[in-house]
Amino acid sequence: MQALDELPKAPAHPVRIGVLAIQGDYDAHAQALREAGAEPVLIRKPEELSTIDGLIIPGGESTTFLKFLERDGFLASLQDFVRHKPTFGTCAGCILLATEVTHPPQQSLGVLNATVERNAYGRQIDSAIQTSDTKLPGGPLEMVYIRAPRIAKTGDGVTILAERDGFPVLVEQGHIMAATFHPELSTDRRVHQRFVDLVRDWPSRQTRSAHS
């Protein structure tokens, strides 16, 4: 008879990660999540937040995001979610997560200990694709910038994973990740894989923290 510890383990269920499907290329994020081993869920209603393990807030126009989120209590539900569950903001999503927004100032969710400057690299015509070093395993990373914001300053608890011109472009703080570029527009899935791994490990990290 086969010992219990020798029996094959059942495969882990994929984590369910939502993509806020209000604007931006949420379908590209969903595809990237699939390729990184997660189950993507497009989120359009506040009650859908309770069905997911983590969330991506994609690019777009941050002021338009806010106007939409002010309906039906969505902003309050999202605020509660990002305080407790893994969340990854890209471009406009990075702006929404910051504790301070400039150029001009605007409301935000205030969970990422950073100051973010909107449209810091110019207009659509100033968009660029660059390949830069990163602390992620696997060497340099392709980064697609479209009307990119700039993380002007970071505070306590923020780990910088990549930079552009001396400014952070990919950061992590506990259960929060943020990027000023669009990883969904590249074929390199390391950024999404990093977030999927964070979402998958978050429950055990919370348990270890509670017992430390």
Q: pTM for this structure?
A: 0.91
Question: Known catalytic residue: 211?
Answer: no
Asked if residues 195 and 54 have their Cβ atoms less than 8 Å apart, the reply is yes
pLDDT higher than 50, residue 195 = yes
Who contacts 76 (Cβ-Cβ below 8 Å, separation ≥6)?
A: 46
Model confidence over 108-163: pLDDT tens digits?
A: 999 999 999 998 876 654 578 999 999 999 999 999 999 899 999 999 999 999 99
Between 54-58, 59-63, 97-101, the lowest mean confidence (pLDDT) is in 59-63
Question: Known catalytic residue: 84?
Answer: no
User: Looking at per-residue confidence, does 1 or 173 come out higher?
Assistant: 173
Domain extents in the chain: 13-205
The pLDDT value given to residue 210: 65
| For range 42-61, the mean pLDDT | 96
DSSP H helices, 70-121, are 74-84, 92-97
Task: For tokens 């305080």, name the residue.
Answer: 83
Among the listed residues 29, 172, 184, 192, the single catalytic one is: 184
Question: Known catalytic residue: 91?
Answer: yes
Among the listed residues 29, 91, 94, 175, the single catalytic one is: 91
Residue 129, both tokens:
């694709």
Asked if residues 108 and 98 have their Cβ atoms less than 8 Å apart, the reply is yes
Among the listed residues 29, 175, 182, 192, the single catalytic one is: 182
In CATH, the architecture of 13-205 is 3-Layer(aba) Sandwich (3.40)
H/E stretch holding 76: helix 74-84
Prior bond to 168 cis, omega within 30? no
